[in-house]
Amino acid sequence: MKVPRPKSTFGAIVELVAIVAFAVGLALLIQAFVVKPYVIPSGSMIPTLEEGQRVLVQRVGYHFGDPEIGDIVVFHPPEGAQAERCGAPEGLGEVCITSVGEPDDENFIKRIVAGPGDTLKVVDGRAIVNGEPITDDFIKPCGGASSCNFPNEVTIPADQYFMMGDNRGSSDDSRFWGPVPRDWIIGKALATYWPPDRLGIF
């Protein structure tokens, strides 16, 4: 039987470099198009997600189906959202219903509470959608903040989604800067992977 000749040191190094390059390329491809990690930047999603917690977000699911009420999503907010900029003045007692025309470069993570064509009002921090409160036993109560009550009903525009943080009294969200076009949604949170005591699947 013929014994194969051992590879040269140079050949072994070339093979190792090729393997590493392939692995890095594959990892970058997965992050770009399939699953990407994100760090929670604030306490707006307490108690569901703590500041500094890490989540995995899948980026392909919404190519095959629509976002749904209750989904936790990463998205681009409207430009100027951090200054609570609404695209048009809302009526007295109404949430902002018109976002500015351009997405911000920042990434936010919130929960979808209403979708295209849904009617919405907010009572004591709870989203009342199409006349019924949505399931929200996971939220942190509003606590009487000025953001707790928008009793005048509005209709969500076509192809847009209304986002709210679970920490209803301490979340800058669609109530103040308007709904988010579907094209601005990056993906749905799948699971939390850090810290270890907060591991879980959504």
Tell me which H or E stretch contains 192: strand 185-194
Instruction: Read off the pLDDT of residues 137-154 as tens digits, 9 standing for 90 and up.
Output: 889 988 877 789 999 999
Closest to 49 measured CA to CA, from 184, 200, 173, 172: 200
Tokens 């709904």, residue located: 179
For 36-86, the DSSP string reads: EEEE--SSTTTTTS-TT-EEEEESSGGGTS---TT-EEEEPPBTTGGGT--
Residue-level pLDDT at 15 = 56
Percent of the chain with pLDDT over 90: 56
What is the overall mean pLDDT for the chain? 85
What would the mean pLDDT of 118-140 be, rounded to a whole number? 94
What pLDDT is attached to residue 34?
Answer: 54
Closest among 153, 173, 36 to 112, alpha carbons compared = 173
CATH architecture of 37-201: Ribbon (2.10)
- Which pLDDT belongs to residue 10? 64
Instruction: Provide the token pair at 8.
Output: 């040269």
Residues designated catalytic: 44, 110
Cite the DSSP H helix spans in the chain: 9-33, 174-177
pLDDT bucket at 17, cuts 50 / 70 / 90:
low
Tens-digit pLDDT profile for residues 36-92: 889 999 999 999 999 999 999 987 778 788 999 999 999 999 998 888 888 887 778
Provide the pLDDT for residue 101: 87
23 pLDDT higher than 50? no
Q: How far apart are CA 15 and CA 7, in angstroms?
A: 10
How many Å apart are CA 30 and CA 146, to the nearest integer? Answer: 42
Tell me what pLDDT residue 194 has. 85
